[in-house]
Chain A
Amino acid sequence: MSAGIDLDDVCCDFGSFRAVDHVNVAIQPGEFFSFLGPSGCGKTTILRMISGFTEPSSGVVRIGGKDMRGQRPNQRPTALIFQNLALFPLMSVADNIAFGLEVRGIDKAKRRARADELLRLVDLPGAGDKMVSQLSGGQKQRVAIARALAVEPAVMLLDEPLSALDLKLRQHMRAELRAIQKRTGVTFIYITHDQGEALAMSDRVGVMSHGRLQQVANPRDIYDNPANGFVASFVGENNILAGSVGAVGQGFASYDTPLGSFRARMAPNTGGAVKLYVRPEHMRFTAEAQAENSVPVTVTDVAFEGNFISVHALSENGTNLVAELRNDGLGNTPAPGAKLHISFDAARAAILPDETAAEA
């Protein structure tokens, strides 16, 4: 039923602008795969190439192993959920859901039965006779999902469908989408610029920037072992220090900065310009200097964020460092003005190719 998708060295040019640049990825049948990236990174173009609204300038899109070149969207086994959902406002909810079946010449009674069945699947039983305008944002979302599922696609393509919803509903729909995907076993390809969404829902995430696929990995690896500075910065916060690599050995390297010398993880064949990336939640404060990766600082600002506390500190040479402390209720938050040492584990810090310039 569900099919895998291969993007084989796919490029897409709009005039002189290269929207998608040599993308290679194999998406497994039944996988929940997200393309994550800032707006303009080419992720929507990828989606439109898979659904058939845009043809690649070069390279091949395969669905279930079949070359899709020259196949119109109405000939592909994909169903696209648009960012604005694109429900048909002049049709009832049931007619919306059954549209794909109507197109396939299925008779009215069967269509209606299938629409009602899908409405139960998306948790909207009995809404078939309503008009689209009578539904709330979250309900419209479900109808769009049901409409796409009605044609029994091998691949579902979702173009930031949650972006218009409020935070609570968004979190709820995340779980819902994930559950529907597991229940139906259809391959989901999800486009988003929201890292939280991508990490929470996906089996694998492909991070994109400037038309290039920067890294494809499971959410944990994307966050913990980013391939480069762009991925590290786009997915989560960082303290970024510039300097130069010193002694290298056994997956670690020393890194000299104006703030002092640090030790951090570095992949064996890392080349080019690099920077040191440390996540704020991996920073900690101590009264005494630690054996390594320790900097004396003065706390400048303490921002209470609810479940965590963001602490800004200034080193002696004027570098701003940020630590995020868990709000554990023990009340050991440093006060502004406190003179402390900030430190991190070498295993929690990474020396990565600097690609923040590419992000701009």
Chain B
Amino acid sequence: MQDLLRRYGTGLTGAFVLLTAFWLLVLIVLPNFYLLENSFRPYLPRVDMGGPLDTYSFDNYAKILTGSSPTEVFGLTVTLPVHVKSFLLTVGYSAFVTVLSFALAYPLAYYLAKIVQPKSLPTLFLLLFVPLWVSEVLRSFAWFIILSLKGPLNFSLLGLGIIEAPIRWIAGYRSIIIGLVYTYVLFMLFPIYNAIQSLDTNQIEAAEDLGSPWWRTHWRVILPHAKPGIASGAVMVFMLSAGSLLVPVLLGSTESNWFTQVIQQWMFEAADWNTGSAYAFILLVLCTVFVSLVMRVFRVKLSDIAK
């Protein structure tokens, strides 16, 4: 703070502080607080707002437990409330998207950080970034076309003789998973790339020199070093996937219902912002709990991720 004052003077420093405070308070804290407050109040006609019916309760939160849908899980039939099922599927598939992103990003990150010639790095990074120049909406529509039944993907696979009949890609949650992995894989790639890049190459060579095969060098030396990067990438991909609305809306099938779509339905189709807010907070809180639990299991501390 002293340093800022000395460097930029009172006026500019004050402006920085005010802008940051404005951003935090007006654009983040207040709207969230407004939603939180509303989530505890009933959805009432205009005239009843502030009247005797307008009392705080958990009724909106409890709505998630209403309605039931029998679901087949590993041969067992479980009856779950519709929205709980949607929530569990969202968390489960987001975790799957995270694992898939890791499986794709780790080898690529290792390749970029340790194998590729430094002089070809800028070109490779450019190739990775170029798709981001196109808006997310357009990219998702592009995938809709690629994955459609008579689209380029099936056409190519049929042409190459890999499949005999076209695959219905936009079915269940398949296309959502593909779209989410595509959209968020870079959020996994870069933290892992940074982590692996900071590993002293001598450590990899030392392991090999001591007789270690490549997979054990990864398991014992490179992966443990990259763990904070993997953790921050995984948290980002998971949270972004679970919170994504665009991809499930554009690439979802008739059978899929992402939890964000449920929130959206409450807010914009039922015009019930109170219940929508309650659902949004359920998603936020439970996802945070889930992430914390997974971090506990993998022994990752919050301070590791912040590095």
Taking Cβ atoms with an 8 Å cutoff, the residues of A that contact B are 51-53, 72-75, 78-80, 82-84, 86-88, 90-91, 99-100, 102-104, 147-148, 151
Q: Does B225 contact A (CB under 8 A)?
A: yes
What are the 4 closest A-B residue pairs judged by CB atoms, nearest first? A86-B202, A100-B210, A86-B206, A74-B211
Q: How many A-B residue pairs have CB under 8 A?
A: 59
Q: Are B225 and A79 interface neighbours, CB within 8 A?
A: no
Residues of A within 8 Å of B213, CB to CB, are 74, 103
Q: Are B202 and A82 interface neighbours, CB within 8 A?
A: yes
Secondary structure of the B side of the interface? helix
Q: Are B205 and A73 interface neighbours, CB within 8 A?
A: yes
Given contacts A99-B220, A103-B213, contact A74 B205 (CB under 8 A): no
Contact with A along B104-115 (1 / 0, CB 8 A): 000000000000
Residue of A nearest to B225 (CB): A90
Instruction: Count chain B residues whose beta carbon lies closer than 8 angstroms to a beta carbon of A.
Output: 17
Q: Are A51 and B209 interface neighbours, CB within 8 A?
A: yes
Q: Are B205 and A103 interface neighbours, CB within 8 A?
A: no
Residues of B within 8 Å of A79, CB to CB, are 209-210
- Docked Cα-Cα span, A51 to B200, in Å, equals 18
Q: Are B200 and A84 interface neighbours, CB within 8 A?
A: yes
A233 to chain B, nearest CB (A): 32
Q: Are A80 and B209 interface neighbours, CB within 8 A?
A: yes
Q: Are A72 and B208 interface neighbours, CB within 8 A?
A: yes
Given contacts A90-B224, A90-B225, A99-B220, contact A84 B212 (CB under 8 A): no
Q: Are A103 and B206 interface neighbours, CB within 8 A?
A: no
Q: Are B205 and A82 interface neighbours, CB within 8 A?
A: yes
Residue of A nearest to B202 (CB): A86
A187 to chain B, nearest CB (A): 16
A89 to chain B, nearest CB (A): 8
Q: Does B296 contact A (CB under 8 A)?
A: no
- Docked Cα-Cα span, A336 to B162, in Å, equals 93
- Docked Cα-Cα span, A86 to B20, in Å, equals 43
Q: Identify the interface centre among A99, A147, A148: most chain B CB within 10 Å of its CB.
A: A99
Q: Are B202 and A99 interface neighbours, CB within 8 A?
A: no
Q: Does B207 contact A (CB under 8 A)?
A: yes
Residue of B nearest to A82 (CB): B202
